[in-house]
């Protein structure tokens, strides 16, 4: 039967069961594993440390566990830990070569960009594929200095999570996204409301598609709520 744990046993909490001299072994383990892992990471190359794709994310998790356990657990032999670290790095390096030589493998492993904005309107199907909503896309656009969807010709959510934004040469009227809708919600109109009939220009509240005539539902996303569309330079007016 395991020995009962004594609460606030400072010797156990600070030093644990191994003798105090094991602290010197921890020092040796840390230096050795650090140098060994550093050398392998350098060998992997810049791609794996310049971004954090799904493969690199798994690499960080796996290496973190293998490296961490070997530093201070006396029952983890160093050679075993180094073997695990080496296997993980070789798997990652193999995936790098596979991505380099096969476009199909690259798409399968890294993923493909999603076309989230086109001609001043959101593409809800594309954002749904990546599991993000309208608010998150708008936040990413604001980070890029966009204040109105009408400023954007195209925007792509890259496989690594970055947003690539291409501004329109001739901005059009669109949905203002500054200030954020969470802080200052824009007006929302039913299609047959008096406000909608009196508005000069409306866009779909869900995707930003301009209302061309008097349709009750958005032709792009089938949304039935509308809001004011403004030219980009009049967002804050």
DSSP string for 100-133: HH-HHHHHHHH---EEEEETTEE-HHHHHHTT--
Which pLDDT value is given to residue 41? Answer: 67
- pLDDT of residue 110 exceeding 80: no
231 Cβ partners below 8 Å, 6+ apart?
Answer: 148, 150, 171, 172, 173
* DSSP-derived 3-state class of residue 99: helix
Model confidence pLDDT, tens digit, residues 41-83: 666 654 444 455 666 767 777 778 777 777 777 777 778 778 8
**Which pLDDT band holds residue 159 (cuts at 50, 70, 90)?**
confident
**Which pLDDT band holds residue 218 (cuts at 50, 70, 90)?**
very high
Element at 165 (helix H, strand E): strand 163-167
Domains, the chain, ranges and CATH? 16-107 (no CATH), 114-234 (3.30.240.20)
- DSSP one-letter code for 233: G
Which pLDDT value is given to residue 207? Answer: 94
The tokens for 118 are 């086109």
Which pLDDT value is given to residue 15? Answer: 62
66, 33 in Cβ contact below 8 A?
Answer: no
Number of CB atoms found within 10 A of residue 131's CB = 7
φ, ψ dihedrals at 226, nearest 5°: -120, 160
186, 228 in Cβ contact below 8 A?
Answer: yes
Comparing 161 with 136, which gets the higher pLDDT? 136
What gap in Å lies between CA 122 and CA 204, rounded to an integer?
A: 10
Once rounded to an integer, what is the mean pLDDT over residues 174-195?
90
Once rounded to an integer, what is the mean pLDDT over residues 159-177?
91
Comparing 86 with 116, which gets the higher pLDDT? 116
Element at 31 (helix H, strand E): helix 22-44
Which pLDDT value is given to residue 151? Answer: 96
């Amino acid at each position: 039967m395991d020995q009962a744990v004594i609460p606030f046993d400072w010797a156990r909490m600070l030093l644990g069961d191994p003798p105090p001299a094991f602290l010197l072994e921890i020092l040796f383990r840390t230096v050795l594993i650090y140098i060994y892992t550093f050398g392998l990471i350098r060998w992997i190359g810049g791609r794996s440390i310049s971004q954090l794709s799904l493969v690199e994310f798994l690499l960080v998790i796996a290496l973190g566990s293998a490296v961490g356990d070997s530093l201070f657990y006396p029952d983890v032999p160093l050679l075993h830990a180094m073997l695990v670290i080496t296997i993980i790095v070789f798997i990652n390096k193999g995936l790098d070569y596979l991505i380099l030589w096969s476009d199909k493998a690259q798409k399968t492993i890294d993923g493909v960009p999603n076309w989230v904005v086109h001609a001043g309107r959101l593409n809800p199907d594309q954002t749904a594929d990546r599991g993000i909503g309208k608010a998150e896309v708008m936040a990413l656009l604001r980070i890029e200095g966009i204040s109105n969807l009408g400023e954007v010709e195209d925007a792509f959510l890259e496989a690594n999570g970055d947003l690539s934004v291409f501004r329109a040469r001739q901005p059009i009227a669109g949905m203002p996204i500054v200030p954020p809708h969470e802080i200052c919600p824009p007006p929302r109109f039913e299609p047959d409301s008096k406000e909608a009939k009196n508005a000069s220009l409306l866009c779909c509240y869900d995707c930003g598609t301009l209302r061309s005539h008097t349709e009750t539902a958005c032709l792009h996303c089938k949304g039935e709520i509308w809001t004011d569309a403004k030219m980009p330079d009049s967002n804050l007016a």
